[in-house]
Structures are given as structure tokens and as C-alpha cells.
Structure 1
Amino acid sequence: MNLPSPCVVILVGPGAAGKSTWALEHFPADTIVSSDRLRAVAGSGEDDITASADAFDLLEQIVRLRLARGLTTVIDTLGLDQERRTAWLALARSHGLACVAVAFDTSAEECRLRNRLRAKRIPADVLASQLRNWPTVRAALDTEGYDEVLLPQAVRVVPEAFVSASAALVRQQERPTGLRFGLHLGEFPAGREGMSDWLRVVASTAEAVGFDAIYVMDHFRQIPQVGRAWDDFLESWTTLAYLAACTSHVRLGTLVSGITYRNVAHLGKIAATLDVLSGGRAVCGIGLAWFEAEHKAYGWDFPSVNDRYALLEDALRLLPVMWGPGNKAFHGKLLDVPDTSCYPRPLQDPLPLLVGGGGEKRTLRLAARYASAANVFGSADDVRHKSDVLRAHCVAAGREPAEVALTHLSTVLVGKDDQELAASVERLRPRRQDPAKYAASVHAGTVEDQIGRFRELAEAGAAEVMIRLPDLDASPEQATAVLERMAPVIEAFH
């Protein structure tokens, strides 16, 4: 069973029921707060009953601190005191954390046998009292308001995006659905000398493992969410032309070109040229543009939001005219193009126009009226909502909703198993960032987790998922291995 990260897990059961053993089998030791272990800290050892009060004071303080930091915490005590349990539950709720209780319904006979085998036994009368009270405690758990009351089964703590992935994985295995995959490149770590070889290896491997498209981020310096302004960063459309020569069938596009970066008619010519030279594989992604510091650095105007929306609508109307026959003039709200000649015309008719952004009142409305696709972010629930909004805009614009695809962009870290995944998270996370929070930010999951998550996105309305792989580093060999880990995920949908 998958539990959301972070969460609070309260172990409940009589002595010798197996709580500590189960906890260590399923959770990192650092997440477990054990009253026995704290007796050893406050007293002379785990069996120093005289240190119990101090140990519980330490336990309560540690639990408070961990929950305030949003850290997964396993509370390993007898858990038989209802007042303590409900206080931990209330504390979890106050910090917005999921809270589950694990009920150890170990038989009285088994508990007594285990106790007899201990070097330091629980006094027989104490254990007998716990066993007598257990049925009452067990019944109370179901009424106390936990998210789940579990038996000591196999569990994993995973980012929220994967909590229901196991069931979605089964649905994909039993009733497969299709989904396109695009590789999103927003970092170029190989250095100037190795850049072209690295990019060629990445592109050819991505095509070989089944990616349907490669997209590049259209900026002129690295964005602060990803790296430093002086990190190596390639111009997008030039890079796509190089990728066209390195590949044979993946689609190639920007995700997305800021509408303020280029003369729009010139952008139309660039995209048409790429489409011809790539054999009809270009995707023209455009968006509102947001990176004001980049505009200032390059000496470009950064118009108001309203003016950029007007420019975006003009571009969405102009580009199909540029790619069509003739040389008729175009007059928009802000753009005037006296002669829209653009030969050779694109091979695709129409050349796909993708709008980046999930703004529901204006961005998705423009996509519904003029574009082939709209790209959004967020959870499966977010995608489902955006899909409904986009569909409504399509109907209002007199277009069939099926004419405008919904696509989704996210970061994805893939591991073949939990151990490999944990090692990758530890290697990649910033020093000051909690591993669980980093794992959530990059959607760190196993191959099976990812299949389940992408199935949920497909069910929510996504026709294509574009993914950024944070471990795609400077070594061509390592980059190849990272891309190959995606192969079984993609294969599950093809």
C-alpha cells in the first residue's frame, strides 16, 4: 500500500506484537521515533522503566518538531493510550499531514511466546493486562478519525502523485490506453566542447527508447528555477534544426517560444523552415512570455500582460496565414504584416500550434479558438479541471473539443526500484532540502509508479506528457542509461 509523503504513522498493539520489527522493515530508521530507544537516551537502556517519563517527554518534543517540519514520522510506542493517540492525530491534522494507525492484531499466544524469548521480558501481569484491553483499543481505532487503520502489511511512503498509482497501474495493464511522450530539454550540461555529441546521443537515444517528441525550452539564458544565468544555454530553434539532423521521426518543438522574443512573421518563417527540413516534424509552441529579467538583459521591451495577450492572439491568427498560400496582408490588434509570403510552405497542413499556460479565462480560451494543443502543469485533478475548461471554451468557439489536445509538462525521476530511487534522490537533492520534499518536486517514482501516474493523467484528459529528467547529466553514457529507464514506461502506453 502506498502512503502519502509526508505522513504520520502511529503503531498500536500490545507488547511483543512486532511493531518495532515491522517499522524497521518498511521505514528508514531516522523516521522512527521509538519510546524504547529514547529510554536508552534518557536512562541506562531500553528497559530502564525509571526513564519512561523522560523518554516520553523527549518523544513528544521530537514528534512536535518533526511534524512542524512536515517530515514523515513513525511513532513506535505501545500506542494503547487513546489520549496520546488522539493528540498525535490532532497535531498531524494541524500541520496538514495524513495520519494512519497500524493495528497489530498479533495473537495473545504469539505475543507471549515472543516475550518468553526476549532477554528482558515484559512482566507477565503487564502483558496480560495489555492483551485483555486490546479488543477495546482495537475497536476504538476505527472511530478516532484516521485516514486509514491498517494491519501490518507491506507499505511504502511515496509522493502524493503516486498514492493511487498502484490501482492505475493495474488498469493500464488490464485495459491499456495510449499516451504520447515528449522529452523536454531545459539544461545543457556537457560544456561547449562536448555539447554537440551529448545532444546527438540524447536525441538518438530518446528516439530509440520510444519518445514521440523532443521539446526545448525557449530562453536565452537559464531561468532561476533551474540554474544560474551564466549556465550554458542553447538557442532553441537553432538547436531544433540540429536535432532534426540527428533524428528521423520524433516531432520537434519549443515549449514554448515567448511571443515577445522574435518578430512573429520571422518566427513563422523559422518554424516553416524547420518543418520542411525535418520532413514535417515541427511543432510551434508559443506563450505569453514571463521572464522580465531576460528581456531587460537583451534590451527587449516587456509589454504589459494585456498587450502580451493581444500579441499572443495576433500571433495565433497570423502564423496559419504565414503558412498558407499567397501573400495577403495581415492586420491584427498590434501586428501589421503587409506581405505574408512564406515559401517553402510547411509540409504539415496545419503545422501544429501549441499554447503554453493554463490560465482559464484567457490562455485556454485562445488555445480553444486557434491552437492544436494547450500545455498545462499540475496534478491529475488539475489536468481534469483544465480539460473541462478547455472543452467548454472549444464548444463556445464552435470547435470540436477533440481538435485541441491537452498536454502536460512535469519533472520525472525514474528508478528501477525503491533503493535505486532513494540513492538518486540523495545524490540530486539540494543539501538543505528534505529528501521527501525533493522527491515530490521531481515526481520520483519507480517504473511501476510512473506507469500508474501517467495512466491517471491520461484518464484526466492528457493526450501527451512532456517530461524533464533531472538526472540527465553531462556524461553521454549516463544520459543514455537515464533515458533507457523510461523505455518500459513508454512501452506501457504504445
Structure 2
Amino acid sequence: MVLVGPSGAGKSTWAAARYRADEVVSSDALRGVVGSGPHDLDASSDAFDLLERIVAARLGRGLTTVVDTLGLDDARRTAWLALARAAGLPAVVVLLTTPPELCRERNRGRDRPVPAQVITGQIRKAGSIATTLDLEGWDEVHRTDETGGAAESAPERPLGSTTSTTAERRTSQGLRFVLQVGRFPWGEDPATWLAEVALAADRAGFAGLALLDHLIQIPQVGRAWEPIPEPWVTLGLLAGLDTGLELGTLVTPVTFRPPGITAKAAATLDALTGGRAFVGLGAGWWEREHAAYGLPFPPARERLADLEHAITTMRALWAPGTKSAGGLPETTCYPRPAHEIPVIVGGSGDRTLRIARAHADAVNVRTSELERARAALEGSDVRITVLDLPTIGRDRDDTWARVERLRGSTKATAYAERTYAGTPAEQRVRYGALADRGVDTVFLAVGDLDGPDDVERLAPLVV
């Protein structure tokens, strides 16, 4: 096991809480043996000579060995991996994701602190090393922190919420991934198919699961006679599973239900899940499904006014107490939500973005619309999420086979370009660029999500 993190990240504390002292090979401790103390940097060369000999000897005997150094040297790290492989031992990296400010504070409190410019370089290296670790071939890359608990049990602030509810699930690039399920090839056992997909998403590390809200399957996804379930009923089924997934819609048209009914459904889901519900809202766009179900489909101007009114109404019903608010004579809505339910507005039109800036926690756009959203939301606290529809294969051959299967009458090269076809490693480069441009959450939808095995194929994106 190799610990990775800058000075002050808490590596030694983490190791001491989990392993016997004899199992931990610490460069700091060895500096104390061959130098004047654990922070005697002048003794580093001799200390590392000893460390390498001890690590090799322990691995040669098949002993558990925890290497407690910065772990930022790629050559040393891969050499230790090779030694573990030669010894037939499992090899694990533990990446300490402790906030940089806390690392610096701890460093300043030491008798011999690491120079400021040095720790800055360490923090920068640690912040960019995650993808490298994923590609080196370790049996597991475990992410944690030493701020008082592991990263997977740190309090969550999902999409603008001010109440901590579930474990934070962000990738090493700082992104949250929510699996969007829009097609349902569930065969003869819908409930089992849904449950297996949700459980696989939870195991893979997705932050949440979102369902489309349509009355007829949309042509962008499938054929009209293919199933598309009512989402709030379906989310109730998923709420009964033992997962940490956030659950919601992306997006619910305000034309389908009065906003109070959607608010009631979301509040119930939030209470049942202990604070894991979110609501995606949009103005609606597909006239056919409205006509088929006898629903009015007013002009876009009216639908956008209804969108703004819906958010105001829903927030009034979710607020504490019972009073006149949001144009309602009373706000009697029990059970109350377990946390402040995030509202995500879908769309990139000028008025939609103004509504999102004024009333929403987040706005969801296509990746091609990102710059437009960034300009409209500059200076606000509204988070930007993107709906991404890539083609992802396990390797290059598998990716191309999927392109051929999915492209229909579209030219293969055009389809591959439009859907950013690539392997997980290639997709992570693209997602890193999205994170650098201010994206908080990726709603990931793939056109060949046939079951839990396909969710597992996406897992490398979510580490």
C-alpha cells in the first residue's frame, strides 16, 4: 500500500489508525533514525536508501507493507508496484484528498515546516495525479481525507443544498456524475432491471440517478412503443433500495402537473430517502405527448412564465411552517423535505437562463451550450451541470463496435465525433476540461445502457 498526498495531508495519521507500527515504513520516521528528527530534510537521501531496502525485504517475505511518503514520485511509485507484482501481493494506492488550506495549516504548526513554495508544488502535483494513478494498474485507488473522516463519509452539499445529508461523491477531477436513464429495455421483469441498474450505479460511485419525464418515448432515444415509466412512481421504487444515490428527474415539464403536485411528490421522495431528492424542471417542448394525453400546450412565453411560477410555488410548499406564500393561501405540505431540495432548470434560452439565475440552484445544458450558460450566470451562485451523451467503449475496438451499432444511417465518423466516442481514459481528459470550465455535475446518458453490466463499463469515469 502506497500513501499519496502532500505534507500535512494526514497520511501518517491514516496509517496509524489502521495498521500496526511494524507494517508502516515511513520516510519521516527513518529521517529520525539517520538524522536529527522526522523533519530533517538533510537526511532524506539516507532515509530513502533505508526505506527502499526495507520495502523490498518486506515484500520479498510477503508481508503487509504500508509505504508512508509523499508518494508523488512516479518512478518510485511504479517501482514499488512492480515489486508487489513480483511478490504476488495486491497493490493499493491511498490518495489523501485533504483540502490544501488544512495541509498548509498543519505544515505551519510543525517545528520545521516545509517551505511554502515546496508545499505549493506538492499540492499542485497531488491535485493532478489522480488520472495517472488510475492508469498505472493498481488493484485499487482509494480516495480519502484526514479532515476528520474518509471522503466517502464527508457531508454532502448536493447542487446548492445547505443541509448535509449523504456522502460526497466527487471524482478526482472534482466532478459529480449522475446516471441519466432514458431507455428501459427491461424485458419481463421491470422492477428487477431498474433495481439492478440503480445498485450498479451506486457501486460504481455515481452521485445520483435521474429519470426522463416523458409520456411517450422521445424519438431521440427510442421508438414510441418502447416503455418509458412515470418517473415519480419509479423513483419511489428506487428509494426503497439501500443506496446513497440522489434521485430525481431531468427534467419534469411544468406542463405535466400542477407545481404543488410535483412539490408533494418530491417532498415525499426526499423524506423517504433521508434527503436525497432533487427536481429538474423545464418548460416542456414536445407537443405530441401533450396532445396524446389531453394536456394543454401553451406558447413558449406562457410555459416559461409557468416555469418561474412553479419554482416559487414549490419552494413555498417546502419551506418551514404553514402560511400564505408564493401566491398560495396556505402551505400545508407534510411530510416536509428532509433537506433543501435542489432545483435544476433545464435549458439554455435567454429567458430560461434568467429564470435559473433568479430562482434555481443549478442549470442543465448540453456541453455545446456551456459557454452561453457561463456568460449568463457569471457572478451568481447557480451551478452549471451538463447533459452528456457520449459513446464509451471498454477499449478502442469496443468503442468503434458501439459506434457501428448505434449510428443508424449517420456516417460512422460523424456519429463518433458528435458523441465524443472514446475509451474511459479519453473521456476523462474531456471531463477534466469541463471541470476546468466550471462544470459541477455531469448527467451521463449513453445510448446503449442495456443493464448493470453497462453501468460497470462506465465506472472508470466516476472514480
Aligned amino acid, residue 340 of structure 1: T
- Of the candidates 295, 299, 302, which is equivalent to residue 304 of structure 1? 299
Q: Does 1:414 align with 2:392?
A: yes
How high is the TM-score relative to the length of structure 1?
Answer: 0.58
Q: SS in structure 2 opposite 1:408?
A: strand
- Superposed, which structure 2 residues align to 1:435-446 within 5 Å? 435-446=412-423
Partner of 2:335: 344
Q: Could you say which structure has the larger radius of gyration? A: 1
Q: Is contact 2:176-2:442 (8 Å) kept?
A: yes
Partner of 1:283: 278
Partner of 2:9: none
Q: Does 1:190 align with 2:177?
A: no
Partner of 1:356: 346
Q: Does 1:390 align with 2:377?
A: yes
Partner of 2:461: 489
Aligned amino acid, residue 470 of structure 1: G
Give the Cα separation in 1 of the matches to 2:131 and 2:406.
Answer: 31
Measured against aligned partners, the alpha-carbon deviations of 1:17-75 in whole angstroms (never above 9, x if no partner) come to: xxxxxxxxxxxxxxxxxxxxxxxxxxxxxxxxxxxxxxxxxxxxxxxxxxxxxxxxxxx
Partner of 2:50: none
Partner of 1:246: 241
Partner of 1:450: 427
Shift of the alpha carbon at 1:325? 2.1
Partner of 1:118: none
Shift of the alpha carbon at 1:483? 1.3
Aligned amino acid, residue 346 of structure 1: P
- Of the candidates 137, 153, 176, which is equivalent to residue 180 of structure 1? 176
Q: Is contact 1:383-1:461 (8 Å) kept?
A: no
Give the Cα separation in 2 of the matches to 1:177 and 1:211.
Answer: 14
Flag as ranges the 4+ runs of structure 1 deviating above 4 A: 169-172
Shift of the alpha carbon at 1:384? 3.3
Q: Is contact 1:357-1:374 (8 Å) kept?
A: yes
Give the Cα separation in 1 of the matches to 2:346 and 2:402.
Answer: 30
Aligned amino acid, residue 355 of structure 1: V
Q: Is contact 2:221-2:447 (8 Å) kept?
A: no
Q: Is contact 1:172-1:455 (8 Å) kept?
A: no
Give the Cα separation in 1 of the matches to 2:356 and 2:198.
Answer: 29
Aligned amino acid, residue 180 of structure 1: R
Partner of 1:314: 309
Give the Cα separation in 2 of the matches to 1:186 and 1:358.
Answer: 21
Partner of 1:137: none
Give the Cα separation in 2 of the matches to 1:295 and 1:480.
Answer: 32
Q: SS in structure 2 opposite 1:444?
A: coil
Partner of 2:355: 366
Give the Cα separation in 1 of the matches to 2:132 and 2:357.
Answer: 33
Measured against aligned partners, the alpha-carbon deviations of 1:438-459 in whole angstroms (never above 9, x if no partner) come to: 2233321111110011111111
Partner of 2:82: none
Partner of 1:327: 322
Partner of 1:466: 443
Structure 2 gaps, min length 5? 1-126, 134-171
- Superposed, which structure 2 residues align to 1:109-128 within 5 Å? none
Q: Does 1:424 align with 2:402?
A: yes
Shift of the alpha carbon at 1:172? 6.4
Closer, same or farther: CA 483–327 of 1 in aligned 2, 3 Å: same
Partner of 1:264: 259
Shift of the alpha carbon at 1:324? 1.0
Structure with larger RCO (C-alpha < 8 A, sep 6+): 1
Give the Cα separation in 1 of the matches to 2:221 and 2:433.
Answer: 27
Aligned amino acid, residue 388 of structure 1: A
Aligned amino acid, residue 432 of structure 2: R
Partner of 1:36: none
Report the identity percentage: 42
Q: SS in structure 2 opposite 1:252?
A: strand
Give the Cα separation in 1 of the matches to 2:273 and 2:326.
Answer: 30
Partner of 2:5: none
Once structures 1 and 2 are overlaid, which stretch shifts more, 274-283 or 302-311? 302-311
- Superposed, which structure 2 residues align to 1:129-148 within 5 Å? none
Measured against aligned partners, the alpha-carbon deviations of 1:243-291 in whole angstroms (never above 9, x if no partner) come to: 1112421100100000010011111111100000011100011111111
Give the Cα separation in 1 of the matches to 2:393 and 2:190.
Answer: 26
Q: SS in structure 2 opposite 1:215?
A: strand
User: Cα RMSD (Å) of the superposition?
Assistant: 1.9
Partner of 1:433: 410
Partner of 1:126: none
- Of the candidates 292, 295, 313, which is equivalent to residue 290 of structure 2? 295
Aligned amino acid, residue 407 of structure 1: T
Closer, same or farther: CA 441–313 of 1 in aligned 2, 3 Å: same
Give the Cα separation in 1 of the matches to 2:437 and 2:270.
Answer: 31
Q: Does 1:225 align with 2:220?
A: yes
Partner of 1:94: none
Shift of the alpha carbon at 1:429? 2.4
Closer, same or farther: CA 385–303 of 1 in aligned 2, 3 Å: closer
Give the Cα separation in 2 of the matches to 1:459 and 1:342.
Answer: 40
Shift of the alpha carbon at 1:171? 8.0
Give the Cα separation in 1 of the matches to 2:323 and 2:315.
Answer: 12
How high is the TM-score relative to the length of structure 2?
Answer: 0.62
Shift of the alpha carbon at 1:194? 1.7
Q: Is contact 2:388-2:443 (8 Å) kept?
A: yes
Partner of 2:138: none
Measured against aligned partners, the alpha-carbon deviations of 1:73-110 in whole angstroms (never above 9, x if no partner) come to: xxxxxxxxxxxxxxxxxxxxxxxxxxxxxxxxxxxxxx
Structure 1 gaps, min length 5? 1-168, 396-400, 474-478
Shift of the alpha carbon at 1:174? 6.8
Would you say how many aligned residue pairs link Structure 1 and Structure 2? 299
Aligned amino acid, residue 343 of structure 2: L
Give the Cα separation in 2 of the matches to 1:344 and 1:222.
Answer: 32
